[in-house]
Amino acid sequence: MPLPDARRAFVLAFFLLMLGGCQGAVYALPEVTPEEIAEANAEIDAAPMRTVVSRSTNEAIELLNSVGSRLKAVAGPVCAQAKSETCSFNFNYKTSPEENAWASGERDITVTTTLMRYLMNEDEVAAAVAHEMGHHIAGHIGKSKSTTVGGGLFGGILLGAVAVLGGGDQATVQEWTENGQMIGAKIGRLSFSKEHEREADYLGAYLMARAGFNLERGGAIWLRLAKQPEATRETDLFDPHPASADRMAAWKLTIQEIRSSPDLIPHWGS
């Protein structure tokens, strides 16, 4: 018995509400207004199409490592504030057609050859690397695993119970339980990760400032991402990344905040 569409929509909405109530950043993230997002969108529209940088493999690896070491050298107080267990990072450069960077394991940070081609200077490279360091420092990797598991459990129990109450036979109950697990895990993972992306951007900006990178120049990375060809841009509900305009606007507010934070320590939420 398939889930009727209306009921599925209701269940999705319910999950979002539940997860919305129990998630949340631990940092006091800047709040952008619709006007600031509109302004960022106008800036994106007016920006020229992006170009590629040509660097040899060695030059790219050297750039990545030098940016990484500068950021690593100043991360101590930010790690200490977050009570992050490790404050050590490995930087990897991976040949891949995928335009991406990610944080994995306990300390790994990987940037692909394709993403590197679109990062114009050391400040833009620093914005990408510092963002991934932010995921490690804030402990996002473990958190997103547990939200996926939690969402799946919760979804399975909820839809299983709906099927039992509706007088479903054993096969129906099982099917609904499995549906609930899938939907719950997906929503758990993705709704949580948008908040994680915002936190990683925020922490990344502080790390960059501590290491003496130029935040205005580095912030052009959001333009590079926004100027991807239409076909590869993800914009649906489940896109884990906030829209570029949203990130650009938040980045500007973070720069202002950093200018009035002489200790260069991120602001903790209440």
Residues that bind Zn ion (CB under 5 A): 197, 200
Shortest spacing between CB 202 and Zn ion, in angstroms: 11
Measured CA to CA, the distance from residue 242 to residue 220 in angstroms comes to 16
Q: Which residue's CB is nearer to Zn ion, number 160 or number 219?
A: 219
If the CB atoms of residues 158 and 243 are measured against Zn ion, the closer one turns out to be: 243
Q: In what order do the strands lie in the sheet with 101-104?
A: 90-94, 108-112, 101-104
Q: 11 and 159 in contact (C-beta within 8 Å)?
A: yes
The SS3 assignment for 162 reads helix
How is residue 167 written in tokens? 């007088």
Task: Name residue 133's amino acid.
Answer: M
Strands (E), the chain: 90-94, 101-104, 108-112
Nearer residue to Zn ion within complex by CB, 36 or 199: 199
Least Å distance, CB 101 to Zn ion, is: 8
With a CB cutoff of 8 Å and minimum separation 6, the contacts of 236 are none
**H/E stretch holding 237:** none
User: Looking at this protein, which amino acid is placed at residue 197?
Assistant: E
Give the nearest distance from C-beta 200 to Zn ion in angstroms: 5
Q: Does residue 190 contact residue 238 with C-beta atoms inside 8 Å?
A: yes
- Paired residues of 93 in beta bridges: 111
Cβ–Cβ under 8 Å, residues 223 and 245: no
Reference 82, options 28, 25, 139; nearest CA is 139
- Among residues 124 and 197, whose Cβ is nearest to Zn ion? 197
**Of the two residues 118 and 154, which places its CB atom closer to Zn ion in the complex?**
118
Minimum distance, C-beta of residue 160 to Zn ion, in the bound complex (Å): 33
CB of 177 to Zn ion, least distance (A): 32
Q: How far is the CB of 165 from Zn ion (least distance, A)?
A: 40
Between 3 and 245, CB nearer to Zn ion:
245
